[in-house]
Structure 1
Amino acid sequence: MKTDTIAAIATAMTNSGIGIVRMSGDETFEIIQKIYKGKKEKYFQEEKGYTIHYGYIVDGEETIDEVLVMIMRGPHSFTGENTVEINCHGGVYVMKRILETVIKYGARPAEPGEFTKRAFLNGRMDLSQAEAVIDVIHSKNEYALKSSVSQLKGTVHQKIKKIREEILYHTAFIETALDDPEHISVDGYGGELKVVVDKLLEELKALLISSDNGRIIKEGIKTVIVGKPNAGKSSLLNVLVGEDRAIVTDIEGTTRDVLEESIQLQGISLNIMDTAGIRNTEDIVEKIGVDKAKEHANEADLIIYVVDASRNLDENDMEIIQMIQDKKAVILLNKSDLATVVSKDMLKSYIEKPMIEISAKEESGIKELEQTLKDMFFHGDISFNDEVYITNIRHKAAIQDAYDSLEKVNMSIENNMPEDFYSIDLLDAYESLGSITGETIGEDLVNEIFSKFCMGK
């Protein structure tokens, strides 16, 4: 199939040392032939793939820039098509000028994500791998990058492919048996199929459970700092961020709105919120802040409860303790640099959560907090060698649909329904999982997915 030639700037549109203009399509080599000038005559149609050529980009008699031109021959390229990458100086004007020249001689501007879309359409990667490309670009931390690279290598693809193959085998067997009952019997097949379906349900459930950690890996841990006024919440935020982002005073109720920051702790992202001190108050504005604090705490992945260990526990602390009983939380006994009246043993009589003595003022206990948070969410170091994490909400929805369909198969087996009921729901599960890899997905959704990509990718 003949494809038109697309072009785009593949590096950031800012002045830098190097810039890349990328072309892909049937006329790629003809276009570069027209605008390249080197010391020796080059015939790019005859040059070997994965070679680099030093010279200049020219527009007629005008020399635009000194460049290195890398050529890649289809189908052994990212897009599966003939591809050229022009490595030029990274000035914004220079890159735009080269792109304009490429377009002038026959290419057209690429749409967002069109290079990766062509890689998908040409069978160079499945849809889950294509989506991992954008996740690699948007990775915010070490774990997100490792997870995205793992998916780019095909871990999700392989897992889904294996499950789909098993579903398809049993669907085909049932359909064949129904078409040829004289030679193939399905007597007692329901019991045999239930064993298979139960195993597949376990695998899908594990993937769904992984999506909780997967979301945290990709988006970060939604973390809310709570405590009564003047417990040291804002001081803690400033220590974690590494600068004075929150106002710290001795006046109670200084923090009235939610202050949000994103920070990195040992390779994981915390989207952290400093909230108003929780207490009963007649101040209308402060009360709004307290209500917001409770609302955010209810939606949080993690709550950091800061206790002022230099003051006795009161009804405000009791309210917070009750609020976090069923949440993932860590309790910090702050102001350990002062004479303390609240101990871990005292708190343990009310609640069982990880507890750490800290001093936000002297920045002590912070390393222990970092390790505790890492252990709470990832049970130690994450290994991406044998675990698949679902980080894409579209994938999670498709897996959930497949899970529901397989549960219907079990329901049909338990109710002694005819075998063709089994195959209907098995096929639904097969189709749902196929949407992850792109084998059963409409053109509109494909276009929507790739429209979120950056222009040169």
Structure 2
Amino acid sequence: MSDTIAAISTAIGEAGIGIVRMSGKASINIANKLFKGKKIEKLTNGENRKLIYGHIIDLENNEIIDEVLIAYMKAPYTYTREDMVEIYCHGGIISVKKILELVLKNGSRLAEPGEFTKRAFLNGRLDLAQSEAVIDMIRAKTDKSFQVSLDQLEGSLSDKVRKIREILLEMIAHIEASIDFPDDDVEDVAYEELEKKAKLVENEINKLLKTSDRGKILRDGLNTVILGKPNVGKSSLLNAILRENRAIVTNIPGTTRDIIEEYVNIDGIPLKIVDTAGIRTTEDLVEKIGVDKAREMVDKADLIIAVFDASDDITEEDYQIIDIIKKKRSIVLLNKSDLPSEYDENYLKKLLPDKEIIVTSIIKGLGIDRLEQVIKDMFYKGNIDVESDVIITNVRHKNQLLKAKKNIEEGLESIISNIPLDCIEVDIKSCWENLGEISGDTIGEDILDKIFSEFCIGK
């Protein structure tokens, strides 16, 4: 990491401000060459960590590139724990691009995706779980998902994992002591103590794993599929939840032929709402593809909102939908309640006894508030998942916890069976190592590269 990296850290496009940042040993010297202050000639004549006003100059022709504010920050008190420079110029494509080209031409190289945060990790400022929280904060879709990411950045998950690993380390030390000083009485105590601690570790891992479904929803959104036969009001429902006319609505069955996806925030719960083609048998090739896609989306759904037409008799398509949702987490809407009813609501309740049935008139806005309340109740009361002070939002973390869970279960089984201590130690060490991959204490370079490749270049 002896080289100096540079990148644009703001989104490309029109904006009030653009930021070019550098990190590395040469960053301050490069900025010193290119910056000319209004009151301070050289950047380093100004104070560390203070903004200085002036211009960025192209040294080849002495041309002013832009009017800027610039700050240099001396290691180790920076994001990367290296010397850093941040140049605040006018937003837009041209200014930031020209400044980036200048700093690259004068001794830096273009940063790889996530390389600033990777350096923060490698230099010990952040552990791996905290580093991954940075990208989650950037991608957060609601206040709650942002708060979960912020807690992780502050070390909530890392602290929990570290405490579990400390128990495992005590177990390893206990095992090694028993092996080094073989004494029957000591060994009996060792097995008893190991069983107690293994059960504690297993319990703590299970607590974290129980939060993973809710964590996935907070991070990626509750994958919600609107399902129904054609012309029951699915697209109208999407528009009503979004409070905008996102989908085309007509009285012609089969209008929606493709998948429409939108995000909406319901009291901190990010919903990824998917409007699908109406479920029916059709000879129209394009519509048939849309129906097939709808069935595929159902398999991936966290929640299904099934819409039925109260103004029409129950049909074969309705029965198909009822069969689909019987074993799925779902809410039922009996729509078009403003029209004369032809639907037997009690019969529907018999077919779907465990489902919440809401009578709606989407076109008049009736029942939408109730639908949103039911979704909130499902989420916060635990039907979708449980409350916890630490929430697992990352698939990689969940996978490592599952591996650690298997290790500790096998270790516990060996302890109860009085298997020799050196065999038990293998499982305990594997559990300790798998948990260490969450914080980055035990992880390979290839996994690191994959994780940070998902970041944007300027972060």
Inter-partner Cα distance in structure 1 for 2:414 and 2:157? 29
What residue is the counterpart of 2:37 in the other structure? 38
TM-score using structure 1 length: 0.91
SS, match of residue 13 in structure 1: coil
Which letter does structure 2 place at the counterpart of 1:56? H
What residue is the counterpart of 1:261 in the other structure? 262
SS, match of residue 81 in structure 2: coil
Inter-partner Cα distance in structure 2 for 1:165 and 1:108? 41
Unaligned runs of 5+ in 1: none
Q: Does residue 58 of structure 1 match 2:57?
A: yes
What residue is the counterpart of 2:411 in the other structure? 409
Gap change, CA 1:96 and 1:256, over 3 Å in 2: closer
Deviations, residues 369-403 of structure 1 (Å, cap 9, x unaligned): 112112212329x9x99621111111111111000
Which letter does structure 2 place at the counterpart of 1:21? V
Inter-partner Cα distance in structure 2 for 1:113 and 1:184? 54
SS, match of residue 86 in structure 2: strand
SS, match of residue 416 in structure 1: coil
Aligned with residue 391 of structure 2, among 389, 392, 402: 389
SS, match of residue 404 in structure 1: helix
- Contact 2:37/2:43 (CA < 8 Å) preserved in 1? no
User: Deviation at 1:36?
Assistant: 1.8
What residue is the counterpart of 1:69 in the other structure? 70
Deviations, residues 395-433 of structure 1 (Å, cap 9, x unaligned): 111111000000110111232200112211010011101
Q: How does 1:189-268 map to 2 (within 5 A)?
A: 189-268=190-269
Which letter does structure 1 place at the counterpart of 2:9? A
Gap change, CA 1:183 and 1:95, over 3 Å in 2: farther
What residue is the counterpart of 1:372 in the other structure? 374
Q: Percent identity?
A: 49
Inter-partner Cα distance in structure 2 for 1:13 and 1:136? 19
User: Deviation at 1:16?
Assistant: 1.6
What residue is the counterpart of 1:356 in the other structure? 358
Unaligned runs of 5+ in 2: none
Inter-partner Cα distance in structure 1 for 2:35 and 2:166? 49
User: Deviation at 1:181?
Assistant: 2.5
What residue is the counterpart of 1:450 in the other structure? 452
What residue is the counterpart of 1:275 in the other structure? 276
Q: Does residue 18 of structure 1 match 2:20?
A: no
Which letter does structure 2 place at the counterpart of 1:447? D
Inter-partner Cα distance in structure 2 for 1:280 and 1:302? 24
Q: How does 1:38-187 map to 2 (within 5 A)?
A: 38-41=37-40, 44-45=43-44, 47-60=46-59, 61-181=62-182, 185-187=186-188
Inter-partner Cα distance in structure 2 for 1:431 and 1:227? 48
Which letter does structure 2 place at the counterpart of 1:362? K
- Contact 2:35/2:43 (CA < 8 Å) preserved in 1? no
Larger CA deviation: 371-380 vs 408-417: 371-380
Gap change, CA 1:129 and 1:312, over 3 Å in 2: same
Gap change, CA 1:312 and 1:74, over 3 Å in 2: same
User: Deviation at 1:230?
Assistant: 2.8
- Contact 2:174/2:190 (CA < 8 Å) preserved in 1? no
Inter-partner Cα distance in structure 2 for 1:185 and 1:415? 17
SS, match of residue 340 in structure 1: coil
Larger CA deviation: 299-308 vs 260-269: 260-269
SS, match of residue 351 in structure 2: coil
Deviations, residues 34-60 of structure 1 (Å, cap 9, x unaligned): 222123445655754321111222233
- Contact 1:171/1:423 (CA < 8 Å) preserved in 2? yes
User: Deviation at 1:362?
Assistant: 1.1
Inter-partner Cα distance in structure 2 for 1:131 and 1:252? 45
What residue is the counterpart of 2:442 in the other structure? 440
User: Deviation at 1:231?
Assistant: 2.1
SS, match of residue 16 in structure 2: strand
Inter-partner Cα distance in structure 2 for 1:107 and 1:409? 51
Inter-partner Cα distance in structure 1 for 2:312 and 2:359? 14
CA RMSD of aligned residues (A): 2.7
Deviations, residues 197-219 of structure 1 (Å, cap 9, x unaligned): 12221221122221111111111
Larger CA deviation: 138-147 vs 360-369: 138-147
Deviations, residues 333-370 of structure 1 (Å, cap 9, x unaligned): 21121222446544333322222221111122212211
Inter-partner Cα distance in structure 1 for 2:112 and 2:67? 27
Larger CA deviation: 278-287 vs 316-325: 278-287
Aligned length: 455
Gap change, CA 1:416 and 1:264, over 3 Å in 2: same
Inter-partner Cα distance in structure 1 for 2:220 and 2:331? 20
User: Deviation at 1:306?
Assistant: 0.9
